[in-house]
Amino acid sequence: MFTIQVDLGVAAAVIQNDAILLVKEAIGSYAGLWGLPKGHVEQNEVPTHAVIRELYEECGLNGRVIGIIGIRERIQSETCGLFICYHVDVDNYELIIDSNEILEAAFFPSDQFSEINWVSTAMRTMALTSLASNPPLYINDLTTDLNTPYIIHLNTSIDCFQEDNI
């Protein structure tokens, strides 16, 4: 195995009544633009935990990762950039936004997407994909069984693994 520097980001796709949660950025290069709740993965944090943390920090929502909607990869400034969009189910839909990071948050149906000033085309595509289909990859979290962060994403949901098959 070979280690490289990676800019790793995550986004949460939260669906309610055929509409997706979008946030309007308050700061940074995306200020005033709309996208999914998102952020960076911190040191010693797995991406599935980071997306739940970011969703809570930005919107006050608690939830669970159901699967992966899509992955964006790119090279920018000679660094690999990897961005994972997760389908997240939430416990409730009562938004409490962090006004230091987010100006607004609301649920939008896809027929309003053309009116939105998006962070990026990739973000819009991830949002459209989230509304169009079930997650193509399901999460299989073996962290408890293996006593270490260990998550597998597969195109089917499997309840258990034999440890010798991992």
Hey, what domains does the chain have and what are their CATH numbers?
6-133 (3.90.79.10)
On whether the CB atoms of residues 79 and 40 are closer than 8 A, the answer is no
On whether the CB atoms of residues 68 and 135 are closer than 8 A, the answer is yes
pLDDT for 62 equals 97
pLDDT for 164 equals 47
Look-up of token digits 């991992």 = 166
Please tell me the distance from the alpha carbon of residue 126 to that of residue 130, in angstroms, as a whole number. Answer: 6
Pairing of strands 6-13, 79-90: parallel
Collapsed DSSP state (helix, strand, coil) of residue 144: helix
pLDDT for 87 equals 94
pLDDT for 4 equals 82
Low-confidence ranges of the chain (pLDDT < 70): 133-136, 156-166
Closest listed residue to residue 24, CA positions, set 125, 143, 111, 106? 106
At 127, the amino acid letter reads A
Please tell me the distance from the alpha carbon of residue 31 to that of residue 45, in angstroms, as a whole number. Answer: 26
Q: Which bin fits 146, alpha (ψ -120 to 50), beta or left (φ > 0)?
A: alpha
On whether the CB atoms of residues 9 and 82 are closer than 8 A, the answer is yes
Report pTM. Answer: 0.86
